[in-house]
Structure 1
Amino acid sequence: MSGAYAVLHDPQGLLDAELPLDRAPHEALVTAVLAWKDPDLAPSDYEQIALQLTGHARAVAADVRRLAAALPKSDGRGALAEVVLRETEGRLAAPLKGTAPCVQHRARLVRSLYTRLDRLTEPAPATT
């Protein structure tokens, strides 16, 4: 059933904190999706890929949120992460469509979240 989903009750966020991201296959999927020139898939196939990317985007966003919250208030990376997370929430709220542009939109979102995650895991820049 298209558009159906189940809600998982996890108020402490234990699932997000305990499950490591399976980054390599998702990055490969993002690369493949962004390389599409004129794909000819069924709408249901586009929807499945978009759902996969959406779920992964939510997982990466949870890691970004957790890392950003652990930074000192004076670290500008946390403020930038909050901007990216607000944008992510808005983009994830858009309804999924069984189209290549929708899937590519979600792929760009995952790529953006990984970029932010990588910046949060780098050592803090030196202050002068």
Structure 2
Amino acid sequence: MHTRSHTVLHDPEGLIGAELPLDREPYECLVKAVLAWTGTEALAERDYEQIALQLTGHARAIASDVRRRAARLPTDSGPRALADIVLREAEGRLSVTIEGTVRCVQNRARLVRALYERLLEAARLQAG
């Protein structure tokens, strides 16, 4: 469907995102920087909100990738069970309203880190 300024795509299976590799390095650097904050940072509330939005969008993309990879693991495996737990937790944490605070941004950063851990483990198990 076309609107005046953009095209709206219907992709209920997430196939478009599955074809696009995630650019991990900038987000890994952002997560590392955010988790190093001591709480004395003096950013504006809207800056914290923007960082949280960036991390939220990336967490959703990683979660989708983790879900696809975990689905290929044996249903009775420990790594699959752990991935399922992390994905359920991610859904709950991503449903929380974003706040313009250090705590909110750091929680999103921890979520991205946990999702990357599950993604890397699932990829390692499938390759090996």
Match of 1:59 among 61, 71, 74: 61
Mapping for residues 72-91 of structure 1, pairs under 5 Å: 72-91=74-93
The AA in structure 2 aligned to 1:18 is: E
CA distance in 1, matches of 2:48, 2:26: 17
Q: 1:35 maps to which residue?
A: 36
- Counterpart amino acid of residue 39 in structure 1: E
Partner secondary structure for residue 71 of structure 2 = helix
Q: Percent identity among equivalent residues? A: 64
Q: Deviations over 1:13-44 (max 9, x none)?
A: 11221111110000000000011121100011
Provide the C-alpha distance between the structure 2 equivalents of 1:123 and 1:47, rounded to a whole number of angstroms: 36
Taking the aligned partners of 2:69 and 2:29, their CA distance within structure 1 comes to 24
Partner of 2:5: none
Distance 1:78 1:33 in 2: 28
Partner of 1:11: 12
Q: What is residue 108 of structure 2 aligned with on the other side?
A: 106
- Is 1:118 matched up with 2:85? no
Partner of 1:98: helix, strand, or coil? coil
Q: CA deviation at 1:8?
A: 6.0
- TM-score, length basis structure 2: 0.87
Residue aligned with 1:95, SS: coil
**What value does the CA root-mean-square deviation take over the aligned residues?**
1.7
Aligned length: 119
Runs of at least 5 residues in structure 2 that lack an aligned partner in the other structure: 1-7
